[in-house]
């Protein structure tokens, strides 16, 4: 569901068509957060992204800053940039 909503933005549309959709989206994201394994690197990145989507930029950066893999330096930088802009929308990594 989370990705389906993001596809709207990728297609040039609004993220939500109604307040009800926003509530459903937030509820789904919070459920995904509870299912995340914070020790799995991929899920850790997803968890950071979920927090960013909800506007929890400090928590997003706290999670991202705990990642110590050199190959993810660019990814971490992009997260920082988007958090600095307070962007909750999907963004392109490349």
Reading the chain (94 residues) residue by residue, the pLDDT tens digits are 887 888 888 888 888 889 999 999 999 999 999 999 988 999 999 999 999 999 999 999 999 999 999 999 999 999 999 999 999 988 877 6
Give pTM, 2 decimals: 0.87
Confidence (pLDDT) at 9: 80
Task: Domain ranges for the chain, please list them.
Answer: 21-94
Where helices occur in the chain by DSSP H, the ranges are: 2-10, 19-35, 41-53, 57-65, 73-84
SS3 69: coil
């Amino acid at each position: 569901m989370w990705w389906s909503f993001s596809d709207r933005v990728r297609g040039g549309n609004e993220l939500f068509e109604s307040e009800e959709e926003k509530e459903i989206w937030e509820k789904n994201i919070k459920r995904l957060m509870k299912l995340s394994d914070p020790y799995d690197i991929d899920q850790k990145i997803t968890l950071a992204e979920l927090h960013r989507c909800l506007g929890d930029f400090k928590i997003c950066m706290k999670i991202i800053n705990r990642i110590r893999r050199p190959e993810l330096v660019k990814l971490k930088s992009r997260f920082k940039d988007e958090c600095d802009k307070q962007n909750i929308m999907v963004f392109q990594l490349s």
